[in-house]
Structure 1
Amino acid sequence: MFKRIAVLGALVLASLCPVLAAQAKYPARPVVLISPYQAGGTTETFARLIIDDVGTLLGQPIVIEQKPGAAGTIGARIVATSAADGYTLLANTSQHVMYDGMLTRLPFDPMKDFRPVGVLGSAPIILVTGRDSAYRSFEDVLAAGKTKTVTFASGAQGSLPHLTGERVAIQANLKMTHIPFSGTAPALTNVIGGHVDLLYSTAASVMQQIRGGQLRALAVSTKERMKELPDVPTIAEMGLPGFDVTAWYGVWAPKDTPAEVVDAFNKAMREASSTPAAHKRMEALSVTPNDMTADQFSQFAESERRTWLDVIKRANIQPVN
């Protein structure tokens, strides 16, 4: 009888071995990376800088799918409710960590229902104005904002460029009114046309217009000047010491995704970001590569969340439905 049990046990174990091996090998099939915005947007652009190389390193293609709507929450919800196996991931802007400060009816918890995987890259935010604007420098903006209301645009309510403008207004005690647009393109049109005074935007979205002379760059948000714009000062050096903001784009997995799966994808992201070819692609868009581990990204995301929820509170921005 004991011999029969031993034989049966061996047969069961043998039958499970292929299953266990398949589970251990990740990925065994293509991975879907959901971008919760329209095709061709900045999130997809950041992802495409390295994602093909990530797929090559992992041995499976990474397929980007757009699931836009509701400030990115439709796509995020799809990932939050997907199987926690690493085959459905989310690429999102830094707005992800502050969703619950901007929206009252979230179908998920932006931190508890997701597991941080890695950062695709980061970029400065640039303060620009139209070519014919009266604002010739950041000092002009500071002086004007003390005595009158200055308008500034961004591509979306609650976006990092929007909150960067709010943070400047708070720290410098300026009178500023935010004018949100549905995307950077209409915001650009209105600033170039002189209908709105200023625009805060990621570098990739405005460098072409700066180089073409349609926009004038007044300041950059990072602690160091941009190599591409060496004559444009940082906000910190113009009277707001310690000011340092970067727009970052991260990859997130469902909350119960195994650590080994997260680490495998993160490792491939960091390796893909470190190649000369990737650096060349990123440099063309003023993007900085990132080599955070998943644990480091988790700590960074929590820190960013605290910072920007505080800005939302101090700016008296009310969440919407």
Structure 2
Amino acid sequence: MKRRDVLAALGGLPVAAALGSGARAQEAYPSRLVKILVPFGPGGSTDIISRLIGKQLETVTGKPFVIENKPGATGMIGTTQVKNAPADGYTILLGSTSTLAANYSLYKTMTYEPSDFTTVAVNGTIGNFMLVKQDAPYKTVKEFVEYAKKQPKPLFSGYGNASSRVPAALFEVTTGVKFEEVAYRDAVASIQDLNAGRVDCVFPDQVVGESYVRSGYVRALAVTSKERSALFPDIPAVAETYPEYVIISYSCFSVRRETPDDIKKKLNRLIMDAIYEPAVLERVKQLGFLPPPKDWTIEQCDAFVAKEREDWTKYIKLAKIEAQ
């Protein structure tokens, strides 16, 4: 081989090596621990669903998916932490109606914008419960409304995040009752105070409320979805009494928008496949979530979240909640 041919061959080696290294790097994701940041406390729907799917992701990838709870400011503290993390796919936001839809219309000053994130997977949609104390004198939505309107002062409504606050406010506008809002660190704390008699009703999502309803700790008067929940067929929908009242929420996995496209696509497939793993899917449905089609793309997931933000902006306006 001539000298110049040898040099040419040797000169091509670093390029080939670099290309090979890049390909391996892309294939390797995830190559280390991945953090799923849940911007609410343990025990809530976002926490439960993240642990369920995170465990399956560990099984498939062989890498740890660690859940970190960072509650506060209706999810803004934890969401902002993800916004400020490197855009490398190793810090994932467990997004929700509160953080990516409702907060946008509830607060004048935000520490992040929904557009800072790309939603790579939607876990599913779910209705909320309308919960009251187990020994409350009213047994139906109609009786509750009649009772509330006879009281000299507003009843107390507790909430732990935006997705449990807005349904209560919309209920006020729809039925004509008056509530005095009581804010809690999370939905679980609001349910505990409901049981103690410190508030009269709460509207948590069904994942949070399920065990409390089944155990008899509190009583569900209704669900906020258009139709009854398949898990609780004996609990009527508010819409059966007030047809115009329908409101649902969702949870999703999101990353910083600047995250490389190949990592976004990898996460989309990993997470959607994890949701549809038979044991996981069964549990997701047991929790009351209705998952989207398995083949949903990033574009479809992102469009869904954008549409929900539009819908919740309308709900908040209808509920006459002023931005703080």
- TM-score, normalising length from structure 1? 0.87
What is the aligned partner in structure 1 of residue 231 from structure 2?
Answer: 228
Report the alpha carbon displacement of residue 82 of structure 1 after superposing the two structures with TM.
2.3
Aligned ranges 1:177-192 → 2 under 5 Å: 177-192=180-195
Report the alpha carbon displacement of residue 46 of structure 1 after superposing the two structures with TM.
1.1
The answer to whether the aligner puts 1:161 opposite 2:164 as a matched pair is yes
What is the letter of the counterpart of residue 230 of structure 1?
P
Structure 2 CA distance for aligned equivalents of residues 266 and 244 of structure 1: 29
Contact map agreement 1:132 1:194 (CA 8 A) in 2: no
Deviates more, 1:86-95 or 1:172-181: 172-181
Aligned ranges 1:137-176 → 2 under 5 Å: 137-144=140-147, 150-156=154-160, 158-176=161-179
What is the aligned partner in structure 1 of residue 108 from structure 2?
Answer: 104
What is the letter of the counterpart of residue 92 of structure 2?
L
Q: Aligned match of 1:37 in 23, 26, 40?
A: 40
Change (3 A) 1:9 1:223: farther
What is the aligned partner in structure 1 of residue 65 from structure 2?
Answer: 62
Structure 1 unaligned residues grouped into runs of 5+: none
Structure 1 CA distance for aligned equivalents of residues 284 and 47 of structure 2: 13
Question: Cα deviations across residues 123-165 of structure 1 (Å, max 9, x unaligned)?
Answer: 3211111122122101123334556565353332x52111111
Report the alpha carbon displacement of residue 301 of structure 1 after superposing the two structures with TM.
1.0
Q: Aligned match of 1:269 in 263, 268, 271?
A: 271
Report runs of 4+ in structure 1 exceeding 6 Å deviation.
none
Q: Aligned match of 2:87 in 84, 89, 112?
A: 84
Structure 2 unaligned residues grouped into runs of 5+: none
Aligned ranges 1:1-321 → 2 under 5 Å: 6-7=8-9, 9-25=11-27, 26-97=29-100, 98-109=102-113, 111-144=114-147, 150-156=154-160, 158-241=161-244, 243-291=245-293, 292-320=296-324
Structure 2 CA distance for aligned equivalents of residues 84 and 195 of structure 1: 43
Question: Cα deviations across residues 157-188 of structure 1 (Å, max 9, x unaligned)?
Answer: x5211111112222334333322222233322
Task: State the SS of the aligned residue for 1:232.
Answer: coil
Structure 2 CA distance for aligned equivalents of residues 160 and 180 of structure 1: 12
Structure 2 CA distance for aligned equivalents of residues 43 and 247 of structure 1: 11
Structure 2 CA distance for aligned equivalents of residues 224 and 66 of structure 1: 32
Change (3 A) 1:268 1:170: same
Task: State the SS of the aligned residue for 2:87.
Answer: coil
Report the alpha carbon displacement of residue 76 of structure 1 after superposing the two structures with TM.
1.5
Structure 1 CA distance for aligned equivalents of residues 198 and 8 of structure 2: 81
Identity %: 26
Change (3 A) 1:65 1:198: closer
What is the letter of the counterpart of residue 23 of structure 1?
A
Change (3 A) 1:252 1:106: same
What is the letter of the counterpart of residue 257 of structure 2?
K
Structure 2 CA distance for aligned equivalents of residues 227 and 152 of structure 1: 29
Structure 2 CA distance for aligned equivalents of residues 36 and 152 of structure 1: 25
What is the letter of the counterpart of residue 275 of structure 1?
E
Structure 1 CA distance for aligned equivalents of residues 220 and 70 of structure 2: 33
What is the letter of the counterpart of residue 269 of structure 1?
I
Contact map agreement 1:144 1:150 (CA 8 A) in 2: no
Change (3 A) 1:315 1:123: closer
Q: How large is the RMSD of aligned CA atoms in angstroms?
A: 2.6
- TM-score, normalising length from structure 2? 0.86
Report the alpha carbon displacement of residue 218 of structure 1 after superposing the two structures with TM.
1.1
Change (3 A) 1:217 1:16: same
Structure 2 CA distance for aligned equivalents of residues 189 and 68 of structure 1: 18
Give the number of aligned pairs: 317
